[in-house]
């Protein structure tokens, strides 16, 4: 489930990025960039976004995971008041 949500998020961000940068894309094409150059740029950007998101997501989940693993079993089953 989480990879699907992450993939949809990256796809959404990249779709918006392409729409917002149409002028830049047109200028680059007019100056001689090929379709492959443009596609490669966006594939590299999306891969970078996905990798950085994964790295920061892992660091963000690490601390709560360590805290959960250190909870004393008797404390874990005690009701919160």
* pLDDT tens string 16-59: 999 999 999 999 999 999 999 999 999 999 999 999 988 998 98
pLDDT at position 59 is 85
Residue bearing tokens 């994964």: 54
Full domain range(s) for residue 63: 2-77
What is this structure's pTM? 0.73
The Cα angle at residue 29 between residues 26 and 32, in degrees rounded to 5: 155
pLDDT at position 6 is 82
Instruction: Count up the domains in the chain and report the number.
Output: 1
DSSP-derived 3-state class of residue 61: helix
Q: Are 25 and 38 in contact (CB under 8 A)?
A: yes
Q: Are 14 and 38 in contact (CB under 8 A)?
A: no
pLDDT at position 7 is 86
């Amino acid at each position: 489930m989480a990879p699907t949500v992450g993939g949809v998020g990256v796809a959404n961000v990249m779709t918006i990025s392409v729409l917002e940068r149409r002028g830049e894309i047109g200028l680059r094409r007019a100056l001689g960039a090929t379709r492959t150059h443009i596609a490669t740029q966006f594939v590299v950007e999306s891969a970078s976004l996905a990798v950085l998101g994964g790295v920061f997501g892992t660091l963000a989940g690490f601390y709560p995971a360590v805290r959960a693993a250190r909870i004393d079993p008797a404390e874990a089953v005690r009701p919160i008041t």
